[in-house]
């Protein structure tokens, strides 16, 4: 990774406003729940007993789990409209996964001048993704909505 000058001027800190910490926690929890829904989806599509699926599911990346879901669904159903809807939902999962990774694995910090915080930052893939609470809340809400939609999907 190429380190940026801006990144080196930042002070790493885990001291944030309570609201920001709460939203980040909610994003993390909601995404963990979404991962569980994704983990269960091939089992539901194939109508496998839990014990059978548990033995064969394994640990895979989010994009790979989405591909497993696509393949299982396409093999079982011949409904192009619902398959297209599922593709859109799984594409959203992959996009939200990157945004969640930017929160969970990004570098959070601030810049100070004369001891006072002058700006807050969250760097991911050499870009400042910001710490705007409205954006974080939207991400949380998007993850929750997708989790709920896929959790109720008519497999």
87-135 pLDDT per residue, tens = 999 999 999 999 999 999 999 999 998 888 899 999 999 899 999 999 9
- Per-residue pLDDT of 40-66, as tens digits, reads 999 999 999 999 999 999 999 999 999
pLDDT at 7 over 60: no
Rounded Cα–Cα distance for residues 155 and 152 (Å): 9
Q: Give the residue ranges of DSSP H helices in the chain.
A: 5-8, 18-46, 50-57, 62-76, 80-104, 133-151
Contact 38, 150 (CB under 8 A): yes
- Percentage of residues in the chain having pLDDT higher than 70: 95
pLDDT for res 107: 94
Question: Helix or strand or coil: residue 153?
Answer: coil
Rounded Cα–Cα distance for residues 106 and 136 (Å): 13
Rounded Cα–Cα distance for residues 37 and 50 (Å): 13
pLDDT for res 5: 52
Tokens of 94: 């992959």
């Amino acid at each position: 990774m190429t380190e940026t000058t801006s990144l080196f001027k930042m002070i790493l800190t885990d001291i944030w406003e309570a609201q920001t910490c709460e939203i980040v926690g909610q994003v993390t929890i909601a995404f963990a729940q979404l991962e569980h829904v994704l983990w269960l989806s091939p089992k539901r599509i194939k109508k496998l007993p839990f014990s059978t699926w548990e033995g064969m599911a394994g640990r895979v990346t989010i994009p790979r789990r989405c591909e497993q879901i696509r393949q299982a669904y396409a093999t079982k159903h011949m409904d192009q409209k619902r398959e297209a809807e599922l593709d859109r939902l799984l594409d959203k999962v992959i996009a939200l996964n990157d945004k969640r990774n930017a929160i969970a694995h990004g570098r959070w910090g601030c810049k100070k001048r004369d001891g006072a915080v002058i700006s807050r930052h969250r760097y991911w893939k050499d870009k400042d993704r910001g710490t705007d609470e409205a954006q974080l809340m939207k991400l949380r809400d998007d993850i929750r909505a997708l989790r709920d939609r896929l959790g109720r999907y008519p497999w």
